[in-house]
Structure formats: C-alpha cells, structure tokens
Amino acid sequence: MQLSDRTVAAVTGAGSGIGRALALNLAARGAALALADVNEDALNETALLARPFGGRVSLHMVDVSREAEVAEYAAAAVAAHGRVNLLINNAGVALGGTFEELSQDDLEWIMGINFWGGVYGCRHFLPHLRVAAPARIVNVSSVFGLIGPPEQTGYAASKFAVRGFSESLRHELRGSGVGLSVVHPGGIRTAIARRARPGSLTTRPRAELERGQADFERRLVTSPHRAAARILQGIEGDEGRILIGTDATVIDVLQRLFPARYMATLDRLI
C-alpha cells in the first residue's frame, strides 16, 4: 500500500509515543488523519503538531476498551473524511509484576486495552476498509508477543493474543484488498514503561519497583520517530510482520533457535 495525500489513516493511542510519531510521519506525506486517544490534552498537542502539514485532522476521544466508543469512532472517522483506508491499532498500556502479584482486575484491564481494543478496531473499521480497498490494518504487538519474560504475564498474554489474532485475520483477508501487518517493537523510548501499572497485589517496596522500572527504561534504545518510519516502510512494502530495532531481530532469532531456553541466553546477553 502506497502512502500519499490520498491516505486516510485512523490511529489510536495518537497522543504520545509511537502513535504521535506515526501521526506526524503520515501528516508529512499529506495523509488525512482521524486521531484517537483517551487523553484529550495529549491528543490536542499531537493535532497542533500535525495540522501545519496541511492535511485534514479530526480528533476523537476514545477509550478503546469500550466497544461502543470504538464503534462510534469508526463511524465518526468515515463521516469526517469520507473513507478510511489505513487503520493503526496502536493504543496500549503496560503492567508489571509476577502472576501472583496481578489481580484478575489487572489482567482484565490490560487485555481490555491491548487486545480487545485492537479487536474492536478491526471489527468496526473493517467494513469501511473493504469499501476503501486497497487498504490496510496495522496491529501493534510487541517483542513480548514473541517471547514471554518473567514478570510480564499480563503484558505478554495481551501481546501474544494480538499476534495470534492478527496472523489469523491476515490469512482470512488474503485476496480481499485489505492487507494486515503485525508490529513487534523492541525497546522504544516512550512513556509506556514509565507509566506501567504495578500489580495491585504486590507487597514490594516502592523503591524496589522504581529501581526495576529505571533499569528497564535504560534498555529502551529506539526513538518513536524511527519506529514510526519503520512501520510506514513496512506498510509500503506489504510486510506481514514488522520487527523494530536490532533487539527485536535478535530476540526473534533466539526464540526460533531456543524456543524453550531463550531466557537463559538473553540473561547472559543483557
């Protein structure tokens, strides 16, 4: 799919990080944008940065874990722009802690946003994408949709679910004019780690949690702008799987070589 001033892109999680970088990269190509986020101030800031490029920008306050809001977003985006031919399900959150530190509410919260948010997006935008074909869906998973490290049971579960759903849907859409890419970013310098929610059942001291968070953030090496550029390259190259960062490539290879023992190798490398 070629990106141009005829592209109309719906982007969730557009208020910051990869979502904002995608919006600005698409705006620079002349695309029209239907931007969604749950944070109104952040969404307005993205719009201020995108509008000078000249393309039409509509803003939509959306909690992607609520299907009715996503359905309304799809209808409003098409009403504002006439059509949508690119959907990027990017909105996501992080949750840290061992399985025993996570409550059922914690797990349902992260699955609601990271997994069901993307499913709802596909459900309600797909009929419009079929009409606008050639079109594309981009679902953002994670490198933790390739491996399952300790203390990431909730996050990895949600991102593995995105991967499995996306790969199956891509095969179903073959020949329909609607392509699908699933994205596996490695360590991207966004606020998602800083804003990660600790498991609500944890008894660990706050200082210990903050040290672990800081250590994790030091491993985030790729900028959101580079991540966005790689995603757009993958869209134009019709890539079904888009890996972002050398770390993602290394992890992908290690998982293939040592499917049951990759963590021991990764621990030594880190």
155 labelled catalytic: yes
Residue of 73, 120, 155, 262 with catalytic role = 155
Q: Which of 244, 250, 253 is nearest to 269 (CA)?
A: 250
Which DSSP state fits 1? Answer: -
**What's phi and psi for 19, nearest 5 deg?**
-60, -45
Query: What three-state secondary structure class fits 94?
Result: coil
Q: Which of 121, 127, 125 is nearest to 165 (CA)?
A: 121
The answer to whether residues 235 and 3 touch, using CB atoms and an 8 Å cutoff, is yes
Q: Which of 224, 179, 215 is nearest to 196 (CA)?
A: 215
Rounded to an integer, what distance in angstroms lies between the CA atom of residue 259 and that of residue 268? Answer: 16
Q: Which of 10, 253, 6 is nearest to 139 (CA)?
A: 10
Tokens describing residue 163:
């991967």
Q: Which residues are catalytic?
A: 155
